[in-house]
């Protein structure tokens, strides 16, 4: 059996942290993505520009830089906010900006931008006849969105969502750099202490492969379900 020199349990705990981080970021990214896509497709010029600015900004800056900015900058911002609150209103407010929160916020924001593009494309792929038909049935805007657009959009969005999820999962490794004890961090500390990098990094790499392989299967299954009623050519 593989001898992890007593680091086995903490590696497993790290894996749980990685998975929690990934799912929370995914939830944030999906929310931002839907909002972003709605804003990009809206008739309101201000909303459109805001969403375009958001996706452009995110695509131009590396994830690590963004993460460092939120982690270090976030604490400074919270500190000055709490100072101001205390001086003005005597409110004692303090909030520790920990690596986990910074990680979720950063990864959620970054992938929210990618999800925006995915959802936007998927919404545009919905047949406009479907929307016209919904209108003809007297559906309002919200009902059309909920009953017609979203269910049909999901089918087009799934492949893109799957890709984004796989990239997101690998991006979670970066949070170890700002000090979150995820599995990469545990492996790094163990590798340094025991002077055996392969022993600790290879299992972590395999763990990532396992998660990506499992999600691949799950996405395939979802895809099959989402396309159940669609007649596929060739």
Partner 1 sequence: MPEFIVEWLNQNDIFTAGTLLHYWDGLVTTVQLTFLSLLIGLVCAVPLAVLRTSRNPLVSGPIWMYTYLFRGTPLLIQLYVIYYGVAQIEGIQDTFWWEIFREPFYPALLAFTLNTAAYTTEIIRGAIMATPAGEIEAAKAYGMSWFLRIRRIILPSTARRAVQAYSNEVIFMLHSSAIASVVTIIDLTGAARNIYSRYYAPFEAFIAVALIYMVLTFTVVYGFRKLEQHLLKHLKPANG
Interacting residues with partner 1 (CB under 8 A): 57, 59-66, 68-69, 72-73, 75-76, 170-174, 176-177, 184, 187-188, 191-192, 195-198, 201-202, 204-205, 208-209, 212-213
Q: Which is nearer to partner 1, 34 or 175 (CB)?
A: 175
Helix axes 183-194, 197-226, angle to 10 degrees: 160
Minimum gap (Å) between residue 179 Cβ and partner 1: 12
Contact 180, 17 (CB under 8 A): yes
Q: Which is nearer to partner 1, 42 or 79 (CB)?
A: 79
- Token pair, residue 17, equals 């942290």
Least distance between partner 1 and beta carbon 131 (Å): 29
| H or E element in which residue 93 lies | none
Both tokens of residue 21? 């981080």
Rounded to the nearest whole angstrom, what is the least distance from the CB of residue 102 to partner 1 in the complex? 11
Q: Which is nearer to partner 1, 38 or 159 (CB)?
A: 159
CB of 214: closest distance to partner 1 in angstroms? 11
Nearest to partner 1 of 41, 191 (CB atom): 191
Provide the minimum distance between the beta carbon of 205 and partner 1 in the complex, in angstroms, as a whole number.
Answer: 4
Distance CA 108, CA 63 (A): 11
Quick count: other Cβ atoms within 10 Å of Cβ 69? 13
**Which residue's CB is nearer to partner 1, number 4 or number 131?**
4
CA dihedral sign, ordered 207, 212, 215, 221: negative
CA dihedral 85, 89, 90, 93 (to 10 degrees): -30
């Amino acid at each position: 059996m593989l001898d992890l020199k007593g680091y086995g349990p903490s590696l497993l705990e790290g894996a749980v942290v990685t998975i929690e981080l990934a799912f929370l970021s995914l939830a944030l990214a999906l929310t931002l993505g839907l909002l972003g896509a709605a804003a990009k497709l809206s008739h309101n010029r201000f909303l459109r520009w805001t969403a375009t600015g958001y996706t452009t900004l995110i695509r131009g800056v590396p994830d690590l830089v963004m993460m460092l900015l939120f982690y270090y900058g976030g604490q400074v911002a919270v500190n000055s906010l709490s100072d101001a609150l205390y001086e003005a209103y005597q409110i004692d407010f303090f909030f520790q900006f920990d690596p986990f929160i910074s990680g979720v916020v950063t990864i959620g924001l970054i992938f929210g931008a990618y999800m925006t593009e995915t959802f936007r494309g998927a919404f545009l792929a919905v047949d406009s006849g479907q929307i016209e038909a919904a209108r003809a049935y007297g559906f309002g805007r919200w009902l059309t969105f909920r009953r017609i657009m979203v269910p049909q959009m999901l089918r087009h969005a799934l492949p893109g969502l799957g890709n984004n999820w796989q990239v997101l999962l690998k991006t979670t490794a970066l949070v170890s750099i700002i000090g979150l004890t995820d599995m990469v961090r545990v492996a790094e500390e163990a590798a340094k202490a025991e002077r055996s990098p392969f022993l600790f990094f290879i299992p972590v790499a395999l763990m990532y492969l396992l998660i990506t392989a499992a999600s691949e299967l799950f996405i395939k299954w979802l895809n099959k379900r989402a396309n159940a009623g669609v007649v596929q050519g060739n």
